[in-house]
Amino acid sequence: MILTTDRYIDTIIIHCSDTYPHMDVGAKEITEWHQDRGWSTIGYHFVIKKDGTIETGSNLDIQGAHCFGYNTNSIGICWVGGKSMNNTPVDDRTKAQKKALAALCVNLQAEYPNVQIKGHNELSNKSCPNFNVEKDIENFDMYLFF
């Protein structure tokens, strides 16, 4: 997994796929959804599956399509899940997803020391990623040792 790019990166933006608990999708399926919308490829740079597998989406050299107004200098990470069976937003991340997200963000911060980590909900009127990213960052050390 390549974590570097010549693009100037100042923000990591966390998303959820807005999928039901029984849907174990990944970058392949999300790519298809985005292409069905007319996009050339997946809008995210990384996808974190329920088992904690981190899949590569768009190459980091390519500007993402994940957060209007912030795509130029950001990296988009999407965790799979986020929708309850009654269609309400939910933080249903698995332990493996929390650990993988923390590890990926820590590694990206090493590459981009001044990067800010934000939730899509901090930069839009969406609920995605359905948890408080700022508060969650405080638990990264704990997540890494699950």
Q: Which residues are catalytic?
A: 15, 44, 120, 126, 128
24 phi and psi, to 5 degrees? -105, 75
| CB-neighbour burial class of residue 129 (10 A; exposed 0-12, middle 13-18, buried 19+) | buried
Q: Is the distance from CB of 99 to CB of 107 less than 8 angstroms?
A: no
Q: Is the distance from CB of 45 to CB of 77 less than 8 angstroms?
A: yes
Q: Is the distance from CB of 106 to CB of 98 less than 8 angstroms?
A: no
136 phi and psi, to 5 degrees? -65, -35
CA atoms within 13 A on the CB side of 9: 27
